Every structure is written in structure tokens, then in C-alpha cells.
Chains A and B, each alone.
Chain A
Amino acid sequence: MMPWMMVVLAASAAAGATALGILPLRSGRPASRWMAWSSALAGGLMIAASFALVESVPRSTTLQMALGAVAGIGVLHLARVAIGARDIRLHQLDAVTDTYGRNVLRVGMIHAAAEGAAIGAAMAQDIAFGVFVAVALALHNVPEGTLLGAVLQARGASLQRAAVLGVAANSGQVILALGTYLALLRWPAGLALLLGFAAGALVYLVLVDLLPDAYEGAGAKSIALTVVLALWTFGLLHGVLRG
């Protein structure tokens, strides 16, 4: 298989994982505690992915990486401000106005864009490493799908439709992953910059969306334990695979 096909496959699998998040909705809307824990788990996975991205950058290009990270944080912040979702809370399943539904979808697309850049940059570094990052982000897409599905369901959409919309909102990550990967083939010097961009973007999203929503739905101790569990598992896996 050509490497670029691997990129498309991994990014599509990560985007497709969103549909799995719809499954729990078949037996009714999950309790807000469960939504909170899923967000915490997803947040931990995303921080672990950004840790892996940062650690894959050689020390000699640390400055480029840091510059990229600052750009990633800045771009995502501006994007959120631009769509008018600066302080949006994603767990308001009962606030089903049109604007809210649209904003949840838009924020989902911003997440997908950052994830796409992460997968593409990681793949350009090393295919196996790219798969590792894609797996972490795919796992994180599952609870994101549940959330999106619950919001759409509350607005009267069928579960199939919710699944299709969820995957569609995330499909941007396939294009961004491929674009980032191909751009880096032509411009390898930008690798550290883009790895940093992705790492900064992912960390920012965790702190601005996933964690605050998580704390609102469950106690701080259980949230902390869930995030640590995800970080610990992926940190260990990262260390073992690398060693």
C-alpha cells in the first residue's frame, strides 16, 4: 500500500469511529456523569497524543516546534471566536436551539481539522507513529460522536442521520490529514513546525472544551482519575513501543 493511502485509511477510520459513538444512544440518552467521564477520557487521549507529537520532534528543532504550537493555539482560538463559540458548552443536551446545534457541529469541525493536521504530521514523521496517533484520536472521536448524536437526537434527528452527520462533520480530518502529509513530503523542513501546531491545537481543545465540560458533569476526583488513566495507559504504551 502506498503511504498516502495509509494516511487516508487511518484518518477515515478515525473519522468513522464517530459513528460508533451513536450506538450507546440506542438505549436512551446517557447520564450526564457518563458524558463527563467520556469527555475526560477523550481529553486524556488527546493530551497523550500531543505528548507523543512533541516527543517525536528532535531537540534541535524545539524552537520551530514551539512556534508551531503557539500558532496552533492562536489559530484555534481565533477560529472559535470567529464562529461565535468562544464560551460554548458542549454538554447542554436540552438547549436545542438551531444556533446551538450549528455551533456544536462547527466546533466538531474545528476539532476534526486539528486532528487531521495531527494525523498528517505524525504520518509524515513515521507511518507507524501516525497510526498510533490516529488510534488515540479515533478513540476520542467515539465519545464526541455520542455527544453530537445526543444533541441531534434531541432535535428530532434519527440515529442513522445523526451517525451520518457525525461522520460528515469529522470527514474534514481526512482531507486535512492528506493535505498536511503531502505538504510535508514537499516541504520536510516544516515537520517540526506542523507537529508543534498539531500538539498545541490538541492541548488547547482539551482545555477549552473537553475538560470544562467534564468538570461540570461529574466530581473533580473522578474526572482526574479518568484523565490520568488515559494518560497513563497511552504514556506507557508510547514508552514500551518506542523502547
Chain B
Amino acid sequence: MSATWTVFVYGMVTALATALGAVPFAFVRTVSARVLSASNAVASGLMLGACFGLVAEGTAIGAWQTGLGGLAGVVFILATKRILDGHDLEFGEVRGAGARRMVLIVVVMTVHSIAEGVAIGASFAGGAVLATVITTAIAVHNVPEGLAISAVLRPQGASLGACAWWSFFSSLPQPIVAVPAFLFVDAFAPALPYGMGFAAVAMVFMVLVELLPEAYEEGNRANVGVLVSLSLIAMVAFQRLL
């Protein structure tokens, strides 16, 4: 197998791992307001925790580049929201605000995977051992990301299969971007801190503008507070221990 294929296959494995995030939702059948609120809270915590890691890594390479990437992240979400608001969206059976939220989380998580694809490709340029470590880490850390996506999609009425598929889909940029990032690592590596800043701010903004308001509306603030902060800490610890 040529090196390029290896990179692609590794990237594909990390993408498939994301689909595992749908598994816990096999056990969630009834979707009450409480489940909706709790799911949004957990998704918010996981995404905020992921941002802690992204910002720490990004600023370790270059603080200003990460900051610039972050500004682009805000503009991106505002623009995407504006485009989505202008259309009567359908996502499977769902329409209206629920559908917008579903599309937005898939878009945000898909775009944020691009930075992870660059990280996979660039790590292969650093040798096979490093590549295996980084790929495994990204694959494992994709699982809670799939969980976050499924936590938003499932309570709105998406099927289990749809949750798994869109989780997987959101990570497809990883194999696709990993290959050119590996082949032209010198050109791609400097883009990493921008990408990390972009991904982090886009996720925080998405959490703040869509997920948290709905979590508070559908549940009580004490429960939301506990769930978000616990899942945030769990994500941070999980990423640091990998």
C-alpha cells in the first residue's frame, strides 16, 4: 500500500469512529423536553471542552494566527446562519428551527474536521509512530464529537442510522484533507493554528447561539449547569489523557 493510500485509510478510520457516537442513542427512545434539554447540554459541554483543547494547541503554535482564525469562525457562523435563516429547511422529517439547528451542527462539525484532517496528514510527515499515535487520538476523540452531533439530531427526531451517517459524514474531510496535507505538508502545516482557532470559535459560537438557549428553554438551569460543566470537564480530561 502506498504511503498516500495509508494516509487516506487512516483518515477513513478516524471518520468511521465518529459514527460510534450515535451508539448511546440506541437506548434513547422517548424524546421529552427534558431529554432535549439534557442532550443539548451534553453536546454543549463536549463542544466547549473540545475548544479548550483546540485553543491551547493553536495558541501554542501561534497566538495571533489562532486569533485570526477565530475571527473568521465568527464570520463563518453568522454567514451560515443568515443563509439558513433565509430558507425553509427540511432535515429528514423535521422543518423550521429544529432543522436549522440540525443543519448548522452538521455544517460546523464538518468544517471543523478540516483542521483535524490537516493534523492527520501533517503527522504522517513526522514518521509512522507519531502518525499512529495522532490518528488513534483523533479517532478516539471523534467518538464524543459524534455523540455531540447525535445528541442534537436524535431528539429532533432523526433515526439512529441518520445520526451515525451524519456523524461519519462530519468527519469525511479528515481522509480527504489528510492526503494533500501529507503530500504538501510544508504548505499546509502553517495553516494549522488558523484552522484550530477557526474551529474553536465556530463551535463556541454555535453552542452559544443555538444549543444553550434551547437547553435553558426546555429544562431548568440547575440541571443544564451541572450537565454542561461535567461534560466539559470530561471532554477536557479525555483529550488531555489521550
Interface stretch, picked from B126-134, B163-171, B215-223, is: B215-223
- How far is the CB of A120 from the nearest CB of chain B, in Å? 20
Q: What's the Cα separation between A199 and B201 when bound, in Å?
A: 20
Q: What's the Cα separation between A55 and B233 when bound, in Å?
A: 12
Question: Known contacts being A207-B224, A215-B213, A228-B201, is A66 close to B63, with CB within 8 Å?
Answer: no
A-B contact pairs, 8 of them (CB 8 A): A66-B234, A66-B236, A66-B237, A69-B237, A200-B233, A207-B229, A228-B201, A242-B60
Q: What's the Cα separation between A228 and B202 when bound, in Å?
A: 10
> Which single residue of chain A is at the shortest CB-CB distance from B66?
A239
Hey, which chain A residues are within 8 Å of B229, CB to CB?
69, 73, 200, 203-204, 207
Question: CB distance A220 to B222 under 8 Å?
Answer: no
Q: Which residue in B66, B208, B240 is a CB contact (below 8 Å) of A227? A: B208
| Proximity bits, A127-144, B CB within 8 Å = 1, else 0 | 000000000000000000
Q: What's the Cα separation between A51 and B48 when bound, in Å?
A: 10
* Interface residues of B, Cβ cutoff 8 Å to A: 48, 52, 55-56, 58-60, 62-64, 66-67, 70-71, 74, 81, 201, 204-205, 208-210, 212-213, 216, 220-222, 224-226, 228-230, 232-234, 236-237, 240-241
Q: List 17 other contacts, CB 8 Å, given A66-B233, A207-B229, A239-B66.
A: A47-B48, A51-B56, A65-B237, A204-B229, A207-B225, A208-B226, A220-B210, A221-B209, A224-B205, A224-B208, A225-B205, A227-B204, A235-B59, A236-B64, A239-B58, A240-B64, A243-B59
Could you tell me the dominant secondary structure of chain A's interface residues? helix
Any B CB within 8 A of the CB of A231: yes
Question: CB distance A62 to B63 under 8 Å?
Answer: no
Hey, which chain A residues are within 8 Å of B209, CB to CB?
220-221, 223-224
Question: CB distance B228 to A55 under 8 Å?
Answer: no
Question: Known contacts being A73-B230, A73-B233, A211-B212, is A87 close to B221, with CB within 8 Å?
Answer: yes
Q: What's the Cα separation between A81 and B222 when bound, in Å?
A: 9
Question: CB distance A240 to B63 under 8 Å?
Answer: yes
Question: Known contacts being A203-B229, A221-B209, A228-B208, is A239 close to B222, with CB within 8 Å?
Answer: no
| Proximity bits, A149-183, B CB within 8 Å = 1, else 0 | 00000000000000000000000000000000000
Hey, which chain B residues are within 8 Å of A209, CB to CB?
221
